[in-house]
Chain A
């Protein structure tokens, strides 16, 4: 249909509209303008700093935290091993006390694994945010062509590997024991 005919047809439709429909149409038009403006703003966003500096810096800092805790844990384990080597030279009661204390320190040093896994989850979340920011800004950038993202093939073990749960969602050892026993 030629443009002139379309405009005439639109006028005819508009004149036939009631007040409610006309208001709705105006609101839709305003909404359309807002969406267009938002797209332009997103396309103009300067995310290079986020991509190139802030997020990598944040992940580097977190990697350093993991490294520092690992170093500290290993230092503690070194000391524990030295104490264990002293046990044969101690009186039996003292040797037993040292043994119990060292065991408790070993148990406590597992914090490094748990915190490391939790930090790993945060790093992954930051990487997801980085990816989404890139995709969103790329989608509205003129001439941007986004590569299709293929879903990675994951094993059951990978799908279920979510790391430590928050306390409210985690099962205790007793609950896990009961669950396993229910299969017997």
Chain B
């Protein structure tokens, strides 16, 4: 797992951004940027060189699922690993995310071990 990977975390709750950033720091990921909704994230992704996206679902004006679809439809970004971290835990949400090409799915509240395990898994397939 390349700890220098440029990671984009996306969440409309600043507290959650801070928590994920700190958990990533504990996993030695220090090259981390933040966005507070899908549109801001998409704009950063198109101008940056990110190796992993960790996104919430429920955000305005662009949701995490819509961001995922945009990423998968973009020739430059389509193979970027994308982990959804969300409180949306219904089967239909997981199925929709999977259909849109999500790399892995973490349900909130989550623990640091789950985050580490999922990152390792998606980075291994990247």
Contact = CB atoms under 8 A, between A and B. Distances in A.
Interface in A105-125: 106-107, 109-114, 116-117
Q: Is the interface on chain A under 10, 10 to 19, 20 to 34, or 35 or more residues?
A: 35 or more
A103 B112 contact: yes
Nearest to A154: B63
Contact of B94 (A109, A114, A179): A179
Contacts of B69: 157
B95 to A, nearest CB: 7
Contacts, number: 118
B20 to A, nearest CB: 9
A176 B15 contact: no
A15 interface: no
B15 A161 contact: no
B112 A111 contact: no
A56 interface: no
A155 B39 CA distance: 14
B107 A160 contact: no
Nearest to A107: B111
What 5 A-B pairs have minimum CB-CB distances, sorted nearest first? A157-B63, A157-B65, A164-B87, A157-B66, A161-B58
